[in-house]
Amino acid sequence: MISFSQVTKRYPGGHEALSGVNLAIEKGEMVFLTGHSGAGKSTLLKLIAAIERPTSGVVSVSGQNISRLSRHAVPYLRRNIGLVFQDHKLLFDRNVIENVVLPLDIAGLERRESLKRARAVIDKVGLLNREKANPISLSGGEQQRLCIARALVSRPALLLADEPTGNLDAGYAADIMAMFRDFHQVGTTLVIATHDDRAISALGGRTLHLDHGKVVEVAA
């Protein structure tokens, strides 16, 4: 589903976030990215979602070469990818359900169908009674679950999560990880950047360790 071949990403100013990375992630896999901060985890995720382009090498997602993707094709690629951010990136000018429905509005789904699907996914992350609340009134864990709901509402085949439990206490973090395990079980491909070792050992799954821009496979 995802393959990196000799991928290097150098930022303006000379900092090399990734150097000569090779990796392959199969459809339906759950993969953890670990490594100290600044090791290139976020950069790797951004390359998959075409938020950044590689300086050299080939990134391919679902058979599409990201470096060659035209600007007009990028939005359609992203509609098949669910993104979960550490800082949630929620919109505080609208309530919970309006946040979740946003990707479906963008895809041009019929409004009633959109709301139905949004409600179903809000139920799945346990926020159904907060449907009309403003996200600003939610706790950190709830905000993260809302972000996950928004990432999942368009039923993407691939979910990318950047430090999804970074700001959460252990109880909330375990909740979120359990949720990811459920998605993995229904066949979603997951790539999760985290340094929460407990979560990794609890869930199991393949782990890729990033060290100064290089990838090292960690034996399970």
Binding-site ranges for other proteins (CB under 8 A): 49, 51, 72, 75-79, 83, 89, 91, 93, 102-103, 105-108, 110-111, 150-151, 154
Cβ of residue 108: shortest distance to other proteins, in angstroms? 5
Least separation in angstroms between CB 103 and other proteins: 5
Residue placing its CB nearer to other proteins in the complex, 103 or 141: 103
93 vs 187, beta carbon nearer other proteins: 93
Report phi then psi at 193, rounded to 5.
-90, 125
| Cβ nearer to other proteins, comparing 121 with 208 | 121
What is the DSSP annotation of 171-220? Answer: HHHHHHHHHHHHHHHTT-EEEEE---HHHHHHH--EEEEEETTEEEEEP-
The Cα-based distances of 158 to 26, 61, 131 in angstroms read 11, 10, 25
Chain length of the chain: 220
CB atoms within 10 A of CB 167: 15
What is the DSSP pairing of strand 16-25 with strand 81-84? unpaired
Residue with Cβ nearer other proteins (47 or 215): 47
Block residue for tokens 């309530």: 95
Residue among 125 and 200 whose Cβ is closer to other proteins: 125
